[in-house]
Chain A
Amino acid sequence: MDLLDKFDATVALRASLPFENADPFKVVMQEIISETEAIIDGRHTILAGTNNYMGMTFNEDALAAAKKAIDDFGTGTTGSRVLNGTYNGHKALEATIADFYGMEHCMVFSTGYQANLGMISALGGKDDFVIIDADSHASIYDGCSMGNATIVRFKHNDVENMERRLKRLPEGAGKLLVVEGIYSMLGDAAPLKELLEVGKKYGCMTLVDEAHSMGFCGENGRGVAEQLGVEHLVDFYVGTFSKSVGTIGGFAVSNHPKFDVLRFVTRPYIFTASLPPSVVASATASIEAIKRSGNRRAHLWENARQLHAGLKKAGFDLATPEAQSPIIAVHLPDAMVGTRFWETLLLEGVYANMAAPPATPAGMFLMRVSVCAQHTSEQIDEIIKRFTITANKVGLELKP
């Protein structure tokens, strides 16, 4: 029996999409010109589908720190954090993040995916309950599958639906409520104040994943919990370096006095190699830079609002009533239009993300645009203009 036969339906689905000139799963960035531009297939393209929200990938301090770390410490650690893979740099990075969040403890993981896997599977034990939003990122679902807790799911951002479920759980049981600050497909913010208050009322410990909100939400860029003034209700934050921080890696922070024991019981922390010194050094420099980036944050929000307003005015069907994050998503009617729109837009010189089920909620097809603090307002106008041209070319009806 061929073990790959079970994927035939997936192959057929992929083959049924009418891509002619480009394939969204096979895009190659030939040259990166800047944070906001690349050469794709020989074409000069505006990047509007990265997670480089704060534009830190070419930050001068981060570049210099990474180069120095390579020279001083080499290309990799060749070991786990709990063996030979913890260098001074890893400890300094953990101190920098703890300070950024104003918390006591931090653990750096090799990716944000692993941070969620590790935290959720370690915290949720056999007799515990993990309560998650239905639209949670795959890393949260996978953390649930990896652990032994009972998993309870509530309707996306629905406080009342969550409370009804919390009410049914045994009073004294261990409970971990896991939510995100910004949800990455629609770019919508969570009502964290209400969610966390109700969670606390029912005795939950809380974990907030600020992957898509760190850097620009809240006065210091800690995320949506800071923005909404509810940081005191957060027991654990999870975050990533792969978005605003502009490199790769993940972390968890907490004030819990017993936090450090997690280093010895969290398998995705232990059984993998630690981040290379250059990545650690650039993450540290980038987070330091983000702390001082008030103007950049302000410009990012201006870009997000300009794009949202422009696309709305042009008559696109937007996923959120206003810009709640730098992720601005546009609804498309079906896979056919979605595919042709994405392809035509790319040929017009704009790279955005086509988001389709199962990554999207409720079977939606979306063109997901994410803006960068380094986009100029002229580039944002250009994105809006090319969206409109593309809509006309593919026959998408606009309702200005």
Chain B
Amino acid sequence: MASTQTLEKIYDLIAPLNKRGIELTPETTFAAGLQLDSLTVMDLVAEIEDEFDIVLPLNLLPNLETIEDVANAVEKIVSEGN
């Protein structure tokens, strides 16, 4: 389970892209829920990488459907890096 702190940081990064004003929860999905196109997802990934100072490999993306998936992946990468 990802920490609230990680989730909050990701919500902040998503907020400006959330044009439809969808409620952000750990279960919110990027494709069906937020309806982000692949290019916006790409920008978001880059921002998450910079925020957490990590590399979020392209190969992982297909498995990351919800905000919580991303938060968990981020925490795992951050902890492996230390």
Could you list which residues of chain A lie within 8 angstroms of chain B, going by C-beta atoms? 134, 144, 150-153, 155, 161, 164-165, 168-169, 357-358, 361-363
Contacts and interface: CB of A to CB of B under 8 A. Distances in A.
Interface residues of B, number: 14
B54 A168 contact: yes
A168 B53 contact: yes
Given A134-B42, A155-B46, A165 B55 contact: yes
A151 B42 CA distance: 13
B63 interface: no
Nearest to B52: A168
B39 A151 contact: no
A168 to B, nearest CB: 5
Residue from A144, A151, A169, A361 with most neighbouring chain B CB atoms (10 Å)? A151
Query: What does DSSP make chain A's interface, helix, strand, loop or mixed?
Result: mixed
22 contacts: A134-B42, A144-B58, A144-B59, A150-B55, A150-B57, A151-B58, A151-B59, A152-B55, A152-B58, A155-B46, A161-B46, A165-B55, A168-B49, A168-B53, A168-B54, A168-B55, A168-B81, A357-B39, A358-B38, A362-B39, A363-B37, A363-B39
A72 to B, nearest CB: 47
A153 B46 CA distance: 9
A130 to B, nearest CB: 9
Contacts of B54: 168
Given A153-B42, A358-B38, A363-B39, A169 B55 contact: yes
A357 B50 CA distance: 26
Given A168-B53, A168-B81, A363-B37, 6 more contacts: A134-B42, A144-B59, A152-B57, A161-B46, A165-B49, A168-B54
A165 B46 CA distance: 10
Nearest to A155: B46
B58 A153 contact: yes
B54 to A, nearest CB: 6
Nearest to B54: A168
A290 B58 CA distance: 38
Interface in B34-51: 37-39, 42, 46, 49-50
Q: 5 tightest A-B contacts by CB?
A: A151-B58, A150-B57, A168-B55, A152-B55, A153-B58
Contacts of A362: 39
A212 to B, nearest CB: 22
